[in-house]
A and B are shown apart, each in its own frame.
Chain A
Amino acid sequence: MTTQSSVEIGTEWGIVSARQAGRELSKGLGFSSVDQARITTAISELARNIYLYTKNGVIGLEVVNDGHRQGIIITARDQGPGIENLRDVMVDGYSTSGGLGAGLPGVKRLMDEFDIQSNPGEGTLITTTKWLR
Chain B
Amino acid sequence: MRIPILKLGNYLLISIQVELDDQTALLFQEDLLNKIHQEGSQGIVIDLTSVDMIDSYIAKVIGDVVEMSNLMGAKVVLTGIQPAVAITLVEMGVSLNGVQTALDLEQGLEKLQQELEG
Contact = CB atoms under 8 A, between A and B. Distances in A.
Direct contact of A and B (CB under 8 A): yes
Contacts, number: 75
B5 to A, nearest CB: 22
Contacts of A36: 52, 84
Contacts of A103: 56
A20 B18 CA distance: 13
Interface in A11-54: 12-13, 15-16, 19-20, 23, 33-34, 36-38, 40-41, 44-45, 48
Interface string B45-62: 000000011111101100
Interface residues on B, range: 20 to 34
B88 A38 contact: yes
B21 interface: yes
Interface stretch (A57-65, A76-84, A104-112, A115-123): A104-112
Task: List the 5 closest A-B pairs by CB distance, nearest first.
Answer: A106-B92, A37-B84, A44-B55, A102-B56, A34-B84
A12 B94 contact: no
Chain A contact residues: helix, strand, loop or mixed: helix
Interface in B13-49: 19, 21-23
Interface residues of A, number: 27
Given A45-B55, A92-B93, A102-B56, A34 B88 contact: yes
B83 interface: yes
B91 A12 contact: no
